[in-house]
Structure 1
């Protein structure tokens, strides 16, 4: 699987995608593509699918979702999956959707370029903000390079120039000026990373991949003289090979790629229809079994009710006074339940005289005034 996320800052992202995909199909770089119709009427995301082959026989399926972001641009999320383990020497899936250069070339977390050198800002607060956002990013691979001295044109070549093709659009290269080493390392303390003077470091991202050790991905010296920085390229390649958890949002995109794929060959369509028929047949079998079980349970219930009625009719009639109406078995059961209810009520403790007197006093609001009246006793007649 190959994940990437970025931002398109121009106004015509969808038209750029359509033109690029059409050109690539006409030139047979990709086998086919499709702009997925919006079945739900929700225009918040446009989805494009494309398929192509690498190494002549390995099929790659890719899905790009395009959604509006808070900054007025369009955020794109690209997930690609191959039939075999991904080879870094394969072409970057970005080149199967976007042109070589354009407004799409921006990191989603920081807004910085994915293919050029990004000089750190001069303000210390901005430096800390950029590096903290970079350290928490889970989609791209962020590399910080410190210039021990001011470089010339030979030292301004981006790292992506020497990386394997599949890594070139997932790397964000930060360049720190000679005087920025202290603020850089102060901002990176929370990630446990320190950039050597004149060296470089690969940031762990959040969450850090399993097996990440800052020392293993720190390069002591990077020669910015136009030669290939072999140690830094090796460190970035090792980091990319680590087992990393899916970044936020990648799980949903991967599920959509696998379960809601539309660009099918005739053979794949036939396989899908066979699977659909098999699933319908299985659902029908389960429904039939449920119906048979329900029918069997109903028949048993009717048999039990008939046996109960026969037993009730065969039982001797209870002795009752002449003229009293006969009771059915259901009426007898009802009478029995009522006796149980009456017995339960009778078993409750009865209120005592003192309780009755207190209750009477509470219920008679005029009692207090009546008792306080001084009435003389009446003398008995002689």
Structure 2
């Protein structure tokens, strides 16, 4: 967890965000094709890929807008690296903001950019930032304790996603191995990473979680805390891995999303770009922006005019003061010079003259 969390702003209730990694070779083509199909089917209103002069170096940037609920507008921005990292994946980050507080039942912004259709996919987009993990899947923790600690420490630092650790009190059957995230709404599934701890890993897990103050109950689950969240409030005592819906765990995850959280690292810049550098405008928004520009230029021109007038007034006053000074200097030059004052005698000279009065008379010469 970041040591500077107290200095960071909180995530607005209107914002949805997540980030991950894409394993394909051409994410730009996948995004363009999927967004175009959604525009044609009117699932989104419009989208735009930013040109090289309007996007950060080394990143592809896409903007999209769509409607949810009762005609609520959502604006979203996705950035993905142009070049792959050493592991062959490309990191991406997505932030969306609605005109109203976010409703967990709204469609996932991730699926407005990334396709879920196998025939459309070049690679997989739903890999977590933590290596080896994916959204929508239940991933077993490594059997090696050192690797287990590494994975959990990375998960505790990942404030873009919600990480939940589930303890298998006994080895589950095929139904119990299915991901519990399938019971979440779509908008939550693309933000939650599910870790599975084997029956014998309970002690090792709690040792790794000690730094976060979280504790995994035997046969239960716990959400890894962010910021000032009390982990005890998000621990579930019992989770049945029999294929039934874990309603208590689902409720804890939903409640977790309503707790104010600090804006994750790098998300502040992404949110600022979404709000202040938005390009997918409606005709009315374009007119409003032009009016704002005209008002801004008029205000700047008025300020420049006032500054010019103030400068002119100051220059005139300075000129008047200079004329008064010159006249005063001329009057002083034309006045007769006073006679030079007699220099005052120094105290040493006065003492010397006093002693000269007491000089003895000279002796007559023989």
Secondary structure in 2 matching 1:39: helix
| Whole-angstrom CA distance in 2 between matches of 1:82 and 1:166 | 13
Inter-CA distance 157–281: structure 2 relative to 1 (3 Å threshold): same
* TM-score for the superposition, normalised by structure 2: 0.84
Q: Which structure 2 residues correspond to residues 94-173 of structure 1 after superposition, within 5 A?
A: 94-100=110-116, 103-173=124-194
| Pairwise CA distance, 1:162 | 0.9
| Whole-angstrom CA distance in 2 between matches of 1:134 and 1:141 | 9
Matched, 1:271 2:312: no
Matched, 1:58 2:72: yes
Secondary structure in 1 matching 2:94: strand
| Pairwise CA distance, 1:70 | 4.8
Q: Is the 8 A contact 2:55 2:61 kept in 1?
A: no
Which residue number in structure 1 is paired with residue 108 of structure 2?
92
Alignment equivalent of 1:75, drawn from 75, 91, 95: 91
Matched, 1:24 2:38: yes
Which residue number in structure 1 is paired with residue 364 of structure 2?
none
Which residue number in structure 1 is paired with residue 242 of structure 2?
225
Q: Which structure 2 residues correspond to residues 163-242 of structure 1 after superposition, within 5 A?
A: 163-205=184-226, 208-209=227-228, 212-242=229-259
| Pairwise CA distance, 1:111 | 4.2
| Pairwise CA distance, 1:16 | 0.8
Secondary structure in 1 matching 2:116: coil
| Whole-angstrom CA distance in 1 between matches of 2:225 and 2:232 | 11
Q: Is the 8 A contact 1:35 1:47 kept in 2?
A: yes
Q: How many residues align?
A: 318
| Whole-angstrom CA distance in 2 between matches of 1:307 and 1:71 | 80
Secondary structure in 1 matching 2:176: helix
| Whole-angstrom CA distance in 2 between matches of 1:110 and 1:289 | 60
Q: Which structure 2 residues correspond to residues 332-343 of structure 1 after superposition, within 5 A?
A: none
Q: List structure 1 runs of 4+ shifted beyond 6 angstroms.
A: none
Q: Is the 8 A contact 2:136 2:181 kept in 1?
A: yes
Question: Where does the alignment leave 5 or more consecutive residues of structure 1 unmatched?
Answer: 322-382
| Whole-angstrom CA distance in 2 between matches of 1:156 and 1:91 | 26
Question: Where does the alignment leave 5 or more consecutive residues of structure 2 unmatched?
Answer: 1-14, 118-122, 339-366
Matched, 1:34 2:55: no
Q: Is the 8 A contact 2:221 2:238 kept in 1?
A: yes
Which residue number in structure 2 is paired with residue 285 of structure 1?
302
| Whole-angstrom CA distance in 1 between matches of 2:77 and 2:56 | 18
| Pairwise CA distance, 1:320 | 5.2
Which residue number in structure 1 is paired with residue 326 of structure 2?
309
The Cα RMSD (Å) is 1.7
| Pairwise CA distance, 1:56 | 3.7
Which residue number in structure 1 is paired with residue 29 of structure 2?
15
Secondary structure in 1 matching 2:53: coil
Q: Is the 8 A contact 2:130 2:151 kept in 1?
A: no
Give per-residue Cα distances to partners, 1:105-150, cap 9 Å, x unaligned: 1111334101111111111110010011111111100000010111
| Pairwise CA distance, 1:37 | 0.8
| Pairwise CA distance, 1:71 | 3.3
